[in-house]
Structure 1
Amino acid sequence: MTEPVLYTVEAGVAMLVLNRPDVLNALNSELVSALGEAVKRAATDPAVRAVVLTGAGRGFSAGADLKRPHSGGNTAAELLRTLLNPLILSLRALPKPLITVVNGVAAGAGMSLALAGDVVLAAQSATFVPAFTKIGLVPDAGSTYFLPRYAGEMRARAIAILGEKIDAAEAQRLGLVWKVHADDELASASAALARHLAEMPTRAYALTKAALNASLDHDLATQLDREATLQAEAVQTHDVREALAAFVEKRTARFLGR
């Protein structure tokens, strides 16, 4: 049986590839479970310094596999609570930078999955399709969380309610995508960025992600104190000591991510 998620590590970068290209990497329980395990593996592997998530074939993910419908609201809610929701939380909590590389369509929960990345890159031909309401469903897997924070309240409401297809350039303008690359340059551009991140002080990335995640629920005073706590941890790391030594010695720093 073909693996639903491919996992490889090279030069400190874990590549996670959704591998159901015949159905545009539609999300079924097997794929979501496998991706969750791959994320756990990448999180705990000391050889992994950065993570790339993309899709095999022509698309990133067409969203939930509608050819295998679930009967009843309770079953749908259980699938979200036991599989998809923990996956999204694990991606956001991943203590390593996560690049989601949208190489084609990202629809429904597939769009939510793409937006869970720290840095979202897209091919010029990529499309984002928040099509939940068009088939009578509610946006899930984090869409109603990410959209207001990325695009703003008014735009988020229009995106979610209208469910219209959004091309890559418009997604970038709305704040859903960091950069758009020509289709034939996307793979090399994302690989170069991942290698760069893997060579940087990745423990600082983990602490920065923790600060950003906490900020969404904090007032300014609380967040300032959270920053101070995390900074106290950061200054004790090897990478800070290495950066200061490299500066004094006028050499390139060699970061270890600890």
Structure 2
Amino acid sequence: MLAMIKIDQPAPHVKRLLINRAEKRNAIDYDVRQSMIEALQQVQADPNCRAIVLGGVEGVFSAGGDVPSMAGLDEAGARARMSHIHSLCRLVADSRVPVVSAVEGFCAGAAVGLALLGDHIVVGKSTKILFPFMRLGLVPDWGTLRTLPARVGVATAKRIMTNGKMILAPEALQIGLADTDAGEEDIMAVAVAQAAQMARLPTEAFYRIKQRLMHPSASFEEEWQREEDDQAALLTGDDFKEGFAAFSEKRDPDFCKPSESNNA
């Protein structure tokens, strides 16, 4: 099943997962989803993996959900399809290491949802983003009605999800849909460089920040309790020991060093 996803390591501590269905512009069907689930489980279990890049082969991120595979479903089939999608969504959203999406070429519907579940989106000259759900009589899925407003605001999210217009890189960056515009540069190369930079972050602290931002506290009291829990764990951990040593020695911290020693 992993034939639908290409896995390589383009930089130290960085794993790259490419949707490999070029004949369908990397449209996402059951086989692609299952392949990505298995690929993510594989790389996330690798202690040497500290960042992930998502993309597609032949300069296309993905045309989105495979529309013909959606036709003819009964309610049970539709629910089973969504359950499978959500299994993949959880792996991306809950990734303990940063996920960078290299949005090359066309990126529509489900593919935008997939990118939004990650932590950093890179666009460029070739990027074309589209939300086609209204034309199909469907609502956005893959968590998009939560992730998109969190990035761009409710009013902007409503506009771009209902007007059917293509979004190019400059607008994506302007409204907060993307984090980096590679411009004339190679989108994938910029995404790999970004992932390599994020791979140097302290993994546990990054994951805790990510969880706190995704699941905001209901009150200051809850937030202060979460702060206490996080700092109590981190202040006694290996990353803080390295961070404090680097601070004392007036050098940059090397948070990759503990994982390398563990793999020795």
- Same fold flag (TM > 0.5): yes
Structure 1: how far apart are the matches of 2:185 and 2:249? Answer: 41
Equivalent position SS for 1:204: helix
Kindly, what percent of the aligned residue pairs are identical?
A: 29
User: Can you give the 5+ residue segments of structure 1 that lack an aligned partner in the other structure?
Assistant: none
Match of 2:211 in 1: 210
2:2 touches 2:38 (CA, 8 Å); kept in 1?
A: no
Match of 1:44 in 2: 45
Structure 2: how far apart are the matches of 1:106 and 1:218? Answer: 34
Equivalent position SS for 2:189: helix
Structure 1: how far apart are the matches of 2:237 and 2:215? Answer: 21
Equivalent position SS for 1:100: strand
| Between 40-49 and 90-99, the greater mean CA deviation after superposition | 40-49
Structure 1 segment 1-258 matched on structure 2, within 5 A: 3-9=3-9, 10-74=11-75, 75-81=77-83, 83-215=84-216, 218-256=218-256
Encode CA deviations 1:42-95: one digit per residue, 9 max, x unaligned. Answer: 2221010111111111311111112333313522232012x1112112211000
Equivalent position SS for 2:89: helix
Structure 2: how far apart are the matches of 1:51 and 1:112? Answer: 17
Structure 2: how far apart are the matches of 1:252 and 1:88? Answer: 34
Go from structure 1 to structure 2 and tell me whether the alpha carbon gap of 1:160 and 1:220 turns closer, same or farther (over 3 Å shift).
farther
Encode CA deviations 1:85-131: one digit per residue, 9 max, x unaligned. Answer: 12112211000011111011110111111111101111222011001
Match of 2:262 in 1: none
Equivalent position SS for 2:68: coil
User: Can you give the 5+ residue segments of structure 2 that lack an aligned partner in the other structure?
Assistant: 260-264
Go from structure 1 to structure 2 and tell me whether the alpha carbon gap of 1:100 and 1:220 turns closer, same or farther (over 3 Å shift).
farther
2:123 touches 2:180 (CA, 8 Å); kept in 1?
A: yes
Go from structure 1 to structure 2 and tell me whether the alpha carbon gap of 1:142 and 1:58 turns closer, same or farther (over 3 Å shift).
same
Structure 1: how far apart are the matches of 2:218 and 2:124? Answer: 35
Q: Which amino acid aligns with 2:82?
A: L
Structure 2: how far apart are the matches of 1:153 and 1:211? Answer: 20
Go from structure 1 to structure 2 and tell me whether the alpha carbon gap of 1:204 and 1:125 turns closer, same or farther (over 3 Å shift).
same
Encode CA deviations 1:221-253: one digit per residue, 9 max, x unaligned. Answer: 322321221121111221111111122123332
Go from structure 1 to structure 2 and tell me whether the alpha carbon gap of 1:104 and 1:218 turns closer, same or farther (over 3 Å shift).
farther
Deviation at 1:153, TM superposition (A): 1.2
Structure 2: how far apart are the matches of 1:126 and 1:220? Answer: 40
* Number of corresponding residues: 256
Q: Which amino acid aligns with 1:3?
A: A
Deviation at 1:213, TM superposition (A): 2.1
Go from structure 1 to structure 2 and tell me whether the alpha carbon gap of 1:143 and 1:167 turns closer, same or farther (over 3 Å shift).
same
1:18 touches 1:55 (CA, 8 Å); kept in 2?
A: yes
Structure 1: how far apart are the matches of 2:41 and 2:218? Answer: 27
Q: CA RMSD in A?
A: 1.9
Structure 2: how far apart are the matches of 1:224 and 1:2? Answer: 43
2:122 touches 2:190 (CA, 8 Å); kept in 1?
A: no
Equivalent position SS for 1:3: helix
Q: Which amino acid aligns with 1:175?
A: G
Structure 2: how far apart are the matches of 1:252 and 1:174? Answer: 33
Calculate the TM-score normalised by the size of structure 1: 0.92
Structure 1: how far apart are the matches of 2:177 and 2:192? Answer: 20
1:8 touches 1:14 (CA, 8 Å); kept in 2?
A: yes
